[in-house]
Amino acid sequence: MKGVLIRNLVYMVSMGMVICCTNNIEELAEIPEPETRFLGEVDWIRNFGGSGEETARSIIKTSDGGYAIVGFSNSTDGDLAGKELPVNDYWLLKLDAEGKLQWSKTYGGSKDDRGQALVQTNDGGYALTGYAMSDDGDGSNNQGFHDNWIIKVDGSGNLQWEKSFGFSGHDHSYDILQTADGGFFFVGFLDVTAARADGFTEKGNSLTRHGVGEFWGTKLDARGNIEWRRYFGGSNNDRAHAVVQAEDGGFVMIGFSESADFDISNSRGSYDFWVLKIDKNGDLLWERSFGGSGIEVSYDITRTLDNGYAIVGNTFSTDLDISKNYGESDIWLVKIDDGGDLLWERSFGGSEFDAARGIRLSRDGGFIISGNSKSADIDLTSNTGENDIWVLKTDANGLLEWQTSFGGSGLDFGFDAIENEDESILLVGEIASSDMPGVTQKGMTDVIVIKVK
Protein backbone atom coordinates (compact mmCIF):
# COMPACT_ATOMS: atom_id res chain seq x y z
CA MET A 1 0.00 0.00 0.00
CA LYS A 2 2.78 2.36 0.89
CA GLY A 3 4.44 1.70 -2.48
CA VAL A 4 1.19 2.45 -4.31
CA LEU A 5 0.81 5.69 -2.36
CA ILE A 6 4.33 6.84 -3.16
CA ARG A 7 3.95 6.05 -6.85
CA ASN A 8 0.65 7.95 -6.96
CA LEU A 9 2.20 10.93 -5.21
CA VAL A 10 5.09 10.99 -7.68
CA TYR A 11 2.65 10.76 -10.57
CA MET A 12 0.46 13.58 -9.29
CA VAL A 13 3.39 15.87 -8.62
CA SER A 14 4.76 15.20 -12.09
CA MET A 15 1.36 16.14 -13.54
CA GLY A 16 1.24 19.40 -11.58
CA MET A 17 -1.57 18.18 -9.29
CA VAL A 18 -1.95 19.54 -5.72
CA ILE A 19 -2.95 17.28 -2.84
CA CYS A 20 -4.54 18.85 0.25
CA CYS A 21 -7.00 18.36 3.06
CA THR A 22 -6.79 14.54 3.34
CA ASN A 23 -5.05 11.98 5.46
CA ASN A 24 -7.02 9.10 3.97
CA ILE A 25 -4.46 6.60 2.64
CA GLU A 26 -7.18 4.36 1.23
CA GLU A 27 -8.58 7.28 -0.77
CA LEU A 28 -5.16 8.08 -2.18
CA ALA A 29 -4.59 4.43 -3.02
CA GLU A 30 -7.72 4.43 -5.17
CA ILE A 31 -6.30 7.07 -7.52
CA PRO A 32 -5.45 5.17 -10.72
CA GLU A 33 -1.79 4.72 -11.54
CA PRO A 34 -0.49 6.13 -14.84
CA GLU A 35 -1.00 3.99 -17.91
CA THR A 36 2.10 1.98 -18.76
CA ARG A 37 3.15 2.06 -22.39
CA PHE A 38 5.14 -1.18 -22.29
CA LEU A 39 3.21 -4.14 -20.87
CA GLY A 40 5.58 -7.02 -21.59
CA GLU A 41 2.81 -8.91 -23.38
CA VAL A 42 2.97 -10.78 -26.68
CA ASP A 43 1.29 -8.82 -29.47
CA TRP A 44 1.93 -11.39 -32.18
CA ILE A 45 4.19 -14.27 -33.16
CA ARG A 46 5.20 -15.25 -36.69
CA ASN A 47 7.30 -18.20 -37.83
CA PHE A 48 8.74 -18.78 -41.28
CA GLY A 49 10.49 -21.67 -42.97
CA GLY A 50 10.22 -24.97 -44.74
CA SER A 51 10.66 -28.59 -43.74
CA GLY A 52 14.40 -28.17 -43.13
CA GLU A 53 16.39 -25.83 -40.92
CA GLU A 54 16.11 -22.05 -40.76
CA THR A 55 17.51 -19.40 -38.43
CA ALA A 56 17.30 -15.60 -38.12
CA ARG A 57 20.46 -13.86 -36.96
CA SER A 58 19.72 -10.13 -37.35
CA ILE A 59 16.75 -7.76 -37.66
CA ILE A 60 16.56 -4.08 -38.61
CA LYS A 61 13.78 -1.52 -38.85
CA THR A 62 13.33 -0.41 -42.48
CA SER A 63 12.61 3.07 -43.79
CA ASP A 64 9.03 2.11 -44.76
CA GLY A 65 8.12 1.15 -41.19
CA GLY A 66 8.57 -2.58 -41.72
CA TYR A 67 11.44 -4.92 -40.91
CA ALA A 68 14.19 -6.84 -42.66
CA ILE A 69 15.68 -10.05 -41.30
CA VAL A 70 18.69 -12.05 -42.41
CA GLY A 71 19.68 -15.60 -41.58
CA PHE A 72 20.07 -18.81 -43.54
CA SER A 73 18.02 -21.78 -44.71
CA ASN A 74 18.46 -25.21 -46.24
CA SER A 75 14.77 -25.81 -47.10
CA THR A 76 13.31 -26.00 -50.60
CA ASP A 77 9.62 -25.90 -49.69
CA GLY A 78 7.16 -23.94 -47.56
CA ASP A 79 8.26 -20.30 -47.46
CA LEU A 80 11.35 -21.37 -49.43
CA ALA A 81 9.45 -22.85 -52.37
CA GLY A 82 11.48 -22.26 -55.52
CA LYS A 83 14.83 -22.65 -53.78
CA GLU A 84 16.59 -25.40 -55.71
CA LEU A 85 19.16 -27.07 -53.46
CA PRO A 86 18.83 -28.38 -49.85
CA VAL A 87 21.97 -26.54 -48.70
CA ASN A 88 22.31 -23.39 -46.61
CA ASP A 89 21.77 -20.11 -48.45
CA TYR A 90 21.59 -16.56 -47.13
CA TRP A 91 17.90 -15.81 -46.48
CA LEU A 92 16.59 -12.23 -46.53
CA LEU A 93 13.00 -11.65 -45.37
CA LYS A 94 11.07 -8.39 -45.71
CA LEU A 95 8.12 -7.95 -43.35
CA ASP A 96 5.55 -5.21 -43.03
CA ALA A 97 4.81 -3.41 -39.74
CA GLU A 98 2.52 -6.25 -38.63
CA GLY A 99 5.09 -8.94 -39.31
CA LYS A 100 3.48 -10.23 -42.48
CA LEU A 101 5.89 -11.52 -45.11
CA GLN A 102 6.08 -9.16 -48.11
CA TRP A 103 8.87 -10.99 -49.91
CA SER A 104 11.93 -13.12 -49.30
CA LYS A 105 15.05 -13.91 -51.30
CA THR A 106 17.81 -16.48 -50.99
CA TYR A 107 21.40 -16.03 -52.15
CA GLY A 108 24.05 -18.68 -52.53
CA GLY A 109 25.33 -21.60 -54.52
CA SER A 110 25.74 -25.35 -54.16
CA LYS A 111 27.63 -25.28 -50.84
CA ASP A 112 27.24 -23.91 -47.30
CA ASP A 113 26.42 -20.15 -47.24
CA ARG A 114 25.30 -18.53 -43.97
CA GLY A 115 23.98 -14.97 -43.62
CA GLN A 116 24.76 -13.23 -40.32
CA ALA A 117 24.03 -9.48 -40.41
CA LEU A 118 22.53 -6.74 -42.56
CA VAL A 119 22.19 -2.99 -42.86
CA GLN A 120 19.77 -0.88 -44.89
CA THR A 121 21.82 1.26 -47.24
CA ASN A 122 21.48 4.94 -48.12
CA ASP A 123 19.79 4.07 -51.44
CA GLY A 124 17.05 2.01 -49.75
CA GLY A 125 18.65 -1.35 -50.51
CA TYR A 126 20.47 -3.73 -48.20
CA ALA A 127 24.00 -4.99 -47.61
CA LEU A 128 24.35 -8.47 -46.15
CA THR A 129 27.35 -10.22 -44.69
CA GLY A 130 28.17 -13.72 -43.54
CA TYR A 131 30.34 -16.55 -44.79
CA ALA A 132 30.09 -18.77 -47.84
CA MET A 133 31.72 -21.80 -49.42
CA SER A 134 30.07 -21.52 -52.83
CA ASP A 135 31.85 -20.44 -55.99
CA ASP A 136 28.80 -20.94 -58.20
CA GLY A 137 25.22 -19.75 -58.27
CA ASP A 138 25.23 -16.20 -56.88
CA GLY A 139 28.86 -16.53 -55.78
CA SER A 140 31.54 -15.70 -58.31
CA ASN A 141 34.62 -16.64 -56.32
CA ASN A 142 35.82 -18.70 -53.36
CA GLN A 143 39.35 -19.18 -52.14
CA GLY A 144 38.67 -22.25 -50.02
CA PHE A 145 36.33 -23.44 -47.28
CA HIS A 146 34.36 -20.41 -45.98
CA ASP A 147 35.09 -16.89 -47.19
CA ASN A 148 33.67 -13.58 -46.01
CA TRP A 149 30.83 -12.95 -48.47
CA ILE A 150 29.28 -9.50 -48.88
CA ILE A 151 26.26 -8.92 -51.11
CA LYS A 152 24.44 -5.72 -52.05
CA VAL A 153 20.78 -5.84 -53.11
CA ASP A 154 18.22 -3.21 -54.05
CA GLY A 155 15.07 -2.41 -52.08
CA SER A 156 13.27 -5.41 -53.58
CA GLY A 157 16.08 -7.86 -52.84
CA ASN A 158 17.51 -8.02 -56.34
CA LEU A 159 21.22 -8.75 -56.37
CA GLN A 160 23.34 -5.76 -57.47
CA TRP A 161 26.84 -6.99 -56.63
CA GLU A 162 28.64 -9.52 -54.48
CA LYS A 163 32.22 -9.86 -53.25
CA SER A 164 34.10 -12.72 -51.62
CA PHE A 165 37.12 -12.15 -49.37
CA GLY A 166 39.23 -14.92 -47.95
CA PHE A 167 42.03 -17.40 -48.33
CA SER A 168 42.36 -21.17 -48.31
CA GLY A 169 41.16 -21.59 -44.71
CA HIS A 170 37.93 -20.80 -42.86
CA ASP A 171 37.26 -17.03 -42.85
CA HIS A 172 33.98 -15.82 -41.32
CA SER A 173 32.21 -12.44 -41.26
CA TYR A 174 29.64 -11.60 -38.57
CA ASP A 175 28.78 -7.89 -38.74
CA ILE A 176 28.60 -5.01 -41.22
CA LEU A 177 27.89 -1.28 -41.19
CA GLN A 178 27.69 1.43 -43.81
CA THR A 179 30.20 4.21 -43.28
CA ALA A 180 29.67 7.95 -43.65
CA ASP A 181 31.38 7.94 -47.06
CA GLY A 182 28.86 5.44 -48.45
CA GLY A 183 31.25 2.50 -48.18
CA PHE A 184 31.14 -0.46 -45.82
CA PHE A 185 33.10 -1.93 -42.94
CA PHE A 186 32.72 -5.55 -41.89
CA VAL A 187 34.35 -7.73 -39.25
CA GLY A 188 34.93 -11.37 -38.52
CA PHE A 189 37.94 -13.59 -38.26
CA LEU A 190 40.82 -14.59 -40.48
CA ASP A 191 42.36 -18.06 -40.57
CA VAL A 192 45.79 -16.49 -40.56
CA THR A 193 47.71 -19.76 -40.83
CA ALA A 194 46.14 -20.41 -44.24
CA ALA A 195 46.39 -16.73 -45.18
CA ARG A 196 50.14 -16.73 -44.52
CA ALA A 197 50.52 -19.74 -46.77
CA ASP A 198 48.65 -17.77 -49.46
CA GLY A 199 51.01 -14.78 -49.11
CA PHE A 200 48.75 -12.42 -47.10
CA THR A 201 50.82 -9.81 -45.23
CA GLU A 202 48.41 -6.99 -44.25
CA LYS A 203 48.98 -7.06 -40.48
CA GLY A 204 47.27 -4.36 -38.44
CA ASN A 205 49.72 -3.26 -35.78
CA SER A 206 53.03 -4.57 -37.14
CA LEU A 207 54.35 -6.90 -39.80
CA THR A 208 54.39 -9.80 -37.35
CA ARG A 209 52.16 -12.58 -38.63
CA HIS A 210 50.94 -15.05 -36.05
CA GLY A 211 48.01 -16.92 -34.58
CA VAL A 212 45.26 -19.36 -35.42
CA GLY A 213 42.37 -16.96 -35.87
CA GLU A 214 42.53 -13.17 -35.87
CA PHE A 215 40.14 -10.24 -35.55
CA TRP A 216 39.73 -9.11 -39.17
CA GLY A 217 38.30 -5.77 -40.28
CA THR A 218 37.82 -4.74 -43.91
CA LYS A 219 36.93 -1.32 -45.33
CA LEU A 220 35.18 -1.28 -48.73
CA ASP A 221 34.07 1.51 -51.02
CA ALA A 222 30.44 1.82 -52.14
CA ARG A 223 30.97 -0.77 -54.92
CA GLY A 224 32.58 -3.36 -52.66
CA ASN A 225 36.20 -2.72 -53.62
CA ILE A 226 38.80 -3.07 -50.86
CA GLU A 227 40.19 0.20 -49.51
CA TRP A 228 42.09 -1.40 -46.64
CA ARG A 229 41.97 -4.36 -44.27
CA ARG A 230 43.73 -5.21 -41.01
CA TYR A 231 43.96 -8.13 -38.64
CA PHE A 232 44.78 -8.21 -34.92
CA GLY A 233 45.36 -10.89 -32.32
CA GLY A 234 47.82 -13.24 -30.68
CA SER A 235 49.12 -16.75 -31.12
CA ASN A 236 45.84 -18.53 -30.31
CA ASN A 237 42.20 -18.21 -31.35
CA ASP A 238 40.79 -14.65 -31.56
CA ARG A 239 37.48 -13.82 -33.30
CA ALA A 240 35.57 -10.57 -33.85
CA HIS A 241 31.78 -10.80 -33.68
CA ALA A 242 30.54 -7.19 -33.94
CA VAL A 243 31.54 -3.60 -34.67
CA VAL A 244 30.28 -0.03 -34.22
CA GLN A 245 31.63 3.17 -35.70
CA ALA A 246 32.93 5.62 -33.11
CA GLU A 247 32.01 9.29 -33.01
CA ASP A 248 35.49 10.19 -34.33
CA GLY A 249 35.12 7.92 -37.38
CA GLY A 250 37.12 5.01 -36.01
CA PHE A 251 35.78 1.53 -35.33
CA VAL A 252 35.35 -0.46 -32.12
CA MET A 253 35.47 -4.22 -32.64
CA ILE A 254 34.51 -6.85 -30.06
CA GLY A 255 34.70 -10.61 -29.78
CA PHE A 256 36.89 -12.95 -27.79
CA SER A 257 40.54 -13.79 -27.40
CA GLU A 258 42.28 -16.93 -26.24
CA SER A 259 45.69 -15.30 -26.61
CA ALA A 260 48.02 -13.64 -24.12
CA ASP A 261 50.68 -12.23 -26.45
CA PHE A 262 51.34 -9.98 -29.47
CA ASP A 263 48.40 -7.50 -29.64
CA ILE A 264 46.82 -8.75 -26.38
CA SER A 265 48.43 -6.98 -23.44
CA ASN A 266 46.35 -7.99 -20.41
CA SER A 267 44.83 -11.45 -20.73
CA ARG A 268 42.48 -12.28 -17.86
CA GLY A 269 41.85 -15.99 -18.34
CA SER A 270 41.09 -18.81 -20.75
CA TYR A 271 38.89 -16.75 -23.10
CA ASP A 272 38.20 -13.04 -22.57
CA PHE A 273 35.97 -10.34 -23.96
CA TRP A 274 38.48 -8.60 -26.23
CA VAL A 275 37.77 -5.06 -27.40
CA LEU A 276 39.89 -2.91 -29.67
CA LYS A 277 39.57 0.48 -31.30
CA ILE A 278 41.13 1.42 -34.61
CA ASP A 279 41.13 4.80 -36.32
CA LYS A 280 39.48 5.53 -39.66
CA ASN A 281 42.58 4.23 -41.46
CA GLY A 282 42.73 0.93 -39.56
CA ASP A 283 45.55 1.77 -37.14
CA LEU A 284 45.25 0.34 -33.63
CA LEU A 285 44.48 2.94 -30.96
CA TRP A 286 43.88 0.72 -27.94
CA GLU A 287 42.85 -2.78 -26.90
CA ARG A 288 41.38 -4.18 -23.68
CA SER A 289 40.62 -7.60 -22.21
CA PHE A 290 37.80 -8.18 -19.72
CA GLY A 291 36.87 -11.33 -17.86
CA GLY A 292 37.79 -13.79 -15.18
CA SER A 293 39.94 -16.90 -14.98
CA GLY A 294 37.35 -18.94 -16.91
CA ILE A 295 35.71 -18.44 -20.30
CA GLU A 296 34.07 -15.22 -21.53
CA VAL A 297 32.79 -14.65 -25.08
CA SER A 298 31.31 -11.33 -26.26
CA TYR A 299 28.87 -11.27 -29.18
CA ASP A 300 27.53 -7.75 -29.63
CA ILE A 301 28.17 -4.07 -28.94
CA THR A 302 26.19 -0.83 -29.04
CA ARG A 303 27.19 2.80 -28.62
CA THR A 304 25.70 4.55 -25.60
CA LEU A 305 24.29 8.06 -25.29
CA ASP A 306 27.44 9.28 -23.50
CA ASN A 307 29.72 8.08 -26.32
CA GLY A 308 30.70 4.91 -24.49
CA TYR A 309 30.00 1.31 -25.40
CA ALA A 310 27.94 -1.53 -23.94
CA ILE A 311 29.13 -5.05 -24.73
CA VAL A 312 27.31 -8.31 -24.05
CA GLY A 313 28.04 -12.02 -24.11
CA ASN A 314 28.38 -14.70 -21.48
CA THR A 315 30.72 -15.65 -18.64
CA PHE A 316 31.66 -18.83 -16.80
CA SER A 317 33.91 -17.05 -14.29
CA THR A 318 33.46 -16.08 -10.65
CA ASP A 319 36.48 -13.81 -10.16
CA LEU A 320 38.55 -10.85 -11.42
CA ASP A 321 36.26 -8.56 -13.47
CA ILE A 322 33.13 -10.63 -12.73
CA SER A 323 31.52 -9.59 -9.44
CA LYS A 324 28.63 -12.10 -9.51
CA ASN A 325 27.93 -15.48 -11.03
CA TYR A 326 24.55 -17.15 -10.62
CA GLY A 327 25.07 -20.46 -12.37
CA GLU A 328 26.89 -22.42 -15.02
CA SER A 329 26.96 -19.50 -17.49
CA ASP A 330 25.49 -16.00 -17.11
CA ILE A 331 24.78 -13.15 -19.46
CA TRP A 332 27.55 -10.62 -18.88
CA LEU A 333 27.10 -6.93 -19.70
CA VAL A 334 29.98 -4.46 -19.50
CA LYS A 335 30.06 -0.70 -20.03
CA ILE A 336 33.27 1.01 -21.14
CA ASP A 337 34.15 4.57 -22.10
CA ASP A 338 35.64 5.69 -25.42
CA GLY A 339 39.12 5.10 -24.03
CA GLY A 340 38.35 1.46 -23.25
CA ASP A 341 38.18 1.81 -19.46
CA LEU A 342 35.66 -0.36 -17.59
CA LEU A 343 32.88 1.71 -16.00
CA TRP A 344 30.68 -1.10 -14.65
CA GLU A 345 29.67 -4.71 -15.26
CA ARG A 346 26.52 -6.74 -14.59
CA SER A 347 25.60 -10.43 -14.62
CA PHE A 348 22.14 -11.84 -15.36
CA GLY A 349 20.87 -15.38 -15.20
CA GLY A 350 19.86 -18.31 -13.09
CA SER A 351 21.41 -21.54 -11.89
CA GLU A 352 21.70 -23.07 -15.38
CA PHE A 353 23.23 -22.01 -18.73
CA ASP A 354 22.30 -18.49 -19.89
CA ALA A 355 23.91 -16.46 -22.69
CA ALA A 356 23.36 -13.27 -24.71
CA ARG A 357 23.78 -12.83 -28.45
CA GLY A 358 22.47 -9.31 -29.13
CA ILE A 359 22.26 -5.86 -27.56
CA ARG A 360 20.53 -2.69 -28.75
CA LEU A 361 20.27 0.77 -27.23
CA SER A 362 16.70 1.50 -26.09
CA ARG A 363 14.95 4.82 -26.54
CA ASP A 364 15.45 5.74 -22.88
CA GLY A 365 19.19 5.06 -22.96
CA GLY A 366 18.92 1.58 -21.50
CA PHE A 367 19.60 -1.72 -23.24
CA ILE A 368 17.58 -4.49 -24.91
CA ILE A 369 19.44 -7.80 -24.60
CA SER A 370 18.49 -10.97 -26.46
CA GLY A 371 19.73 -14.49 -25.94
CA ASN A 372 18.76 -17.83 -24.48
CA SER A 373 18.34 -19.50 -21.11
CA LYS A 374 17.97 -22.89 -19.45
CA SER A 375 17.22 -21.37 -16.05
CA ALA A 376 13.94 -20.85 -14.18
CA ASP A 377 15.20 -19.07 -11.07
CA ILE A 378 16.98 -15.92 -9.80
CA ASP A 379 16.57 -13.43 -12.72
CA LEU A 380 14.17 -15.73 -14.60
CA THR A 381 10.63 -16.64 -13.65
CA SER A 382 10.03 -19.65 -15.90
CA ASN A 383 11.50 -22.15 -18.33
CA THR A 384 9.38 -24.23 -20.68
CA GLY A 385 11.91 -26.71 -21.96
CA GLU A 386 15.47 -27.51 -22.89
CA ASN A 387 16.38 -23.97 -23.93
CA ASP A 388 14.21 -20.84 -24.14
CA ILE A 389 14.52 -17.54 -25.98
CA TRP A 390 15.26 -14.83 -23.40
CA VAL A 391 14.90 -11.06 -23.75
CA LEU A 392 15.58 -8.54 -21.01
CA LYS A 393 15.60 -4.77 -20.58
CA THR A 394 17.97 -2.79 -18.36
CA ASP A 395 18.24 0.87 -17.55
CA ALA A 396 21.23 2.99 -18.60
CA ASN A 397 23.19 1.72 -15.58
CA GLY A 398 22.61 -1.93 -16.42
CA LEU A 399 20.00 -2.55 -13.73
CA LEU A 400 17.36 -5.10 -14.72
CA GLU A 401 13.92 -3.59 -15.37
CA TRP A 402 12.07 -6.57 -16.85
CA GLN A 403 12.63 -9.90 -18.57
CA THR A 404 10.59 -12.57 -20.29
CA SER A 405 11.24 -15.88 -22.00
CA PHE A 406 9.58 -17.86 -24.79
CA GLY A 407 9.85 -21.42 -25.96
CA GLY A 408 8.69 -25.00 -25.86
CA SER A 409 10.19 -28.35 -24.93
CA GLY A 410 12.99 -28.13 -27.53
CA LEU A 411 16.00 -25.94 -28.22
CA ASP A 412 14.95 -22.34 -28.94
CA PHE A 413 17.39 -19.43 -29.37
CA GLY A 414 17.12 -15.65 -29.53
CA PHE A 415 19.71 -13.77 -31.59
CA ASP A 416 18.61 -10.15 -31.98
CA ALA A 417 15.94 -7.65 -30.89
CA ILE A 418 14.97 -4.07 -31.72
CA GLU A 419 12.76 -1.48 -30.07
CA ASN A 420 10.04 0.42 -31.94
CA GLU A 421 8.98 4.03 -31.42
CA ASP A 422 6.09 2.88 -29.18
CA GLU A 423 8.56 0.93 -26.99
CA SER A 424 7.37 -2.43 -28.30
CA ILE A 425 10.10 -4.94 -29.08
CA LEU A 426 10.67 -7.31 -32.00
CA LEU A 427 12.71 -10.38 -31.14
CA VAL A 428 14.10 -12.87 -33.68
CA GLY A 429 15.77 -16.25 -33.50
CA GLU A 430 15.07 -19.89 -34.21
CA ILE A 431 12.80 -22.50 -32.68
CA ALA A 432 13.01 -26.28 -32.65
CA SER A 433 9.97 -26.72 -30.38
CA SER A 434 6.77 -28.09 -31.88
CA ASP A 435 4.80 -27.14 -28.76
CA MET A 436 5.65 -23.45 -28.46
CA PRO A 437 2.38 -21.57 -27.74
CA GLY A 438 1.01 -19.65 -30.72
CA VAL A 439 3.21 -21.43 -33.26
CA THR A 440 2.61 -24.21 -35.78
CA GLN A 441 6.09 -25.44 -36.55
CA LYS A 442 6.96 -25.90 -40.22
CA GLY A 443 10.23 -27.82 -40.11
CA MET A 444 13.19 -28.93 -38.05
CA THR A 445 13.89 -25.32 -37.01
CA ASP A 446 11.97 -22.20 -38.05
CA VAL A 447 12.69 -18.50 -38.06
CA ILE A 448 10.69 -16.96 -35.20
CA VAL A 449 9.61 -13.32 -34.88
CA ILE A 450 7.93 -12.19 -31.64
CA LYS A 451 6.47 -8.75 -31.00
CA VAL A 452 6.27 -7.82 -27.32
CA LYS A 453 4.26 -4.70 -26.49
pLDDT digit string (tens) for 105-157? Answer: 999 999 999 999 999 999 999 999 999 999 999 998 887 789 999 999 999 99
CB within 8 A of 24, min separation 6: which ones? none
- DSSP secondary structure letter of residue 271: B
- How far is the C-alpha of 190 from the C-alpha of 166, rounded, in Å? 8
Q: Can you spell out the DSSP letters for 337-363?
A: -TT--EEEEEEE--SSBEEEEEEEE-T
* pLDDT score of 86: 98
Residue ranges per domain, the chain? 1-35, 39-452
Q: What span, in angstroms and rounded, lies between the C-alpha atoms of 124 and 203? A: 34
pLDDT digits over 219-273, tens only? 999 999 999 999 999 988 999 999 999 999 999 999 999 999 999 999 998 999 9
String of DSSP letters for 16-50 = T----S---HHHHHTSPPPPPS----EEEEEEE--
Q: Are strands 354-361 and 367-373 parallel, antiparallel or unpaired?
A: antiparallel
Is residue 234 within 8 A of residue 261, CB to CB? The reply is yes
Task: Name 218's Cβ contacts closer than 8 Å, sequence gap at least 6.
Answer: 148, 165, 185, 186, 187, 226, 228, 229
In the 8-state DSSP scheme, what is residue 78? G
pLDDT at residue 7 in the model: 32
Mean pLDDT computed over 67-74: 98
CATH for the stretch 39-452: 2.120.10.30
Instruction: Name the maximum alpha-carbon separation found in the chain.
Output: 85
Would the pLDDT of 84 be above 50? yes
Average pLDDT over residues 412-429: 97
**Is the predicted pLDDT of residue 163 greater than 70, yes or no?**
yes
Residue 210 pLDDT grade (very low, low, confident, very high; cuts 50, 70, 90)? low
| pLDDT tens sequence across 317-357 | 999 999 999 999 999 999 999 999 999 999 999 999 999 99
* Residue 14 predicted with pLDDT over 50: no
Q: What is the mean pLDDT of the chain?
A: 89
Q: Alpha-carbon distance 231 to 260, whole Å?
A: 16
Please report the sign of the dihedral spanned by the C-alpha atoms of residue 36, residue 40, residue 43, residue 49. Answer: positive
